[in-house]
Amino acid sequence: MANSRIYESGRDSLSPNRNLSPITTELDSQDRLKIGGCLLSELALRYQTPLYVLDEVTIRTSCKAYKDALEKYYPGESLPLYASKANSSLAMSSIVNSEGFGLDAVSEGELMTAIKGGIDSSKIVLHGNNKSEKELNLAYTNGVTIVIDNQHDIDKLKSLVSSNKEPARLMLRFTPGIECHTHDYIKTGHLDSKFGFDLDNLEKILIQLKDAKWSNLIGLHAHIGSQIFELQPHKDLVGVMIDALKLARGIGHPIEDLNVGGGLGVRYVEADDPPSIDQWINTVATAVKESCEEKQVKLPRLLCEPGRSLVATSGVTLYKLGSRKEIPGIRTYFSVDGGMSDNPRPITYQSLYKACLVDRPLDPPVQTVTIAGKHCESGDILIKNLPLPICTSGEFLVVFGTGAYNFSMSSNYNRIPRPAAVLVHSGHVDLVQQREQPEDLLRYDVLPNRLLELG
């Protein structure tokens, strides 16, 4: 926005998670915002609003940062996996695949998207704390590594994979008992978590799986949360995981992979100061190397699962300003043509975002407004206390940092269709997600004849 020059603020061309906006953000000759060489107001007019815009250069730069850092700091084999829950689509799967990434899926839909998007199934892992038989079978028949999360997974797989078939490739998830300073809803590494086996039960589970002919346990997994700005918890995690690795190998499991999860934070507002991708990988890789040396353990293949830090700051959402309501001495509301259905994070996590006018980003702010969504909920507020110049209905607003968990968590609340998504690069734009239409929302409705007759 004008008072902080958001299109320049914190520009890090090597670690996009530290930026407020995509790295290709710039102004044209009339001081209007462009991303990926495309004028945002033209995109809004052409594709309508709300509109998700993804910058391909930012995504690929993030991927390269992870790959380069792993090669630089880790002497063993490594494989970064895209945590596709952040933004799952055929286009995203294709991009990360071309950058040498594998993929982390958590459902049948994400798994199918990954496979059809070109990801080699041997580089896909399936997570989930309540996997269905259909999801497990799809993963098993495609050679996907299955992350067992609980005894329920073990029991289902035991009956699914008979002893005369190829054993299932498995990774075991456990809770390392590490706290980190993040939102309660996105902490997953502490002991009170729905995910993973308790650390105290790890040895028992490893012994249980030792002689199971249907099981080929090749990896261990743990994850401590999301949107983390601290590095020490990741070092602590590695220490716990190497102890678990030594235990598993001692029992007789051919553990090859150590998956440390993800969790690196991104910059949503000026006050956010996440580590760079290089710093995060350096911390994790060095900790693994040193811990293995100390405990005389052979280096595993190092896996990590970045999601938010790959795609969040590559994305923006365009809205059209609509109604205005001023409550003297209290607040001024400006409503947009989207809201909690295309970005549920503010109402769910109290998440903060930055925004500015698309065609007047340098105009000085003279008012403070609250950007409200159009849904029938008082809590449908996207941004509180946003400084803006005098603006009118019909102007376009851009909200930054919406590449992760906006499209993937979107809904049809109030029967509002989901927005379209476009991918921009060097002045070229590709439609990667079609806009839903109101009639699409009726596709699966069934009106019984009995009700028709009563009507």
Say if residue 269 is in the same domain as residue 182.
yes
Residue 423: pLDDT above 70? yes
Cα 56 versus chain centre, distance: 16
| Owning domain of residue 327 | 16-56+312-442
* Domain final residue pick, 270, 295, 311: 311
Note the pLDDT of residue 4. Answer: 52
Catalytic residue (choose from 38, 180, 292, 376): 376
Tell me the pLDDT band of 3, cut-offs 50, 70 and 90.
very low
Give me the CATH number covering residue 125: 3.20.20.10
* Domain final residue pick, 251, 282, 311: 311
Q: How many domains does one find in the chain?
A: 2
Note the pLDDT of residue 180. Answer: 59
Say if residue 145 is in the same domain as residue 258.
yes
- The predicted-structure confidence for 81-101, as pLDDT tens digits, reads as follows 999 999 999 999 999 999 999
Note the pLDDT of residue 179. Answer: 65
Residue 114: pLDDT above 80? yes
Within a domain: 453 = no
- Give the Cβ contact number of residue 12 at 10 Å: 16
The candidate with the shortest Cα–Cα distance to 359, out of 386, 394, 326, is 394
Note the pLDDT of residue 8. Answer: 73
Residue 182: pLDDT above 80? no
Amino acid at 314: S
Say if residue 340 is in the same domain as residue 353.
yes
* Residue 376 appears among annotated catalytic residues: yes
Helix (H/G/I), strand (E/B), else coil: 298: coil
Residue 233: pLDDT above 50? yes
Note the pLDDT of residue 183. Answer: 44
Continuous H helices in 295-379: 308-311, 345-349
Say if residue 123 is in the same domain as residue 146.
yes
Helix (H) or strand (E) holding 141: helix 133-141
Say if residue 81 is in the same domain as residue 214.
yes
Note the pLDDT of residue 52. Answer: 98
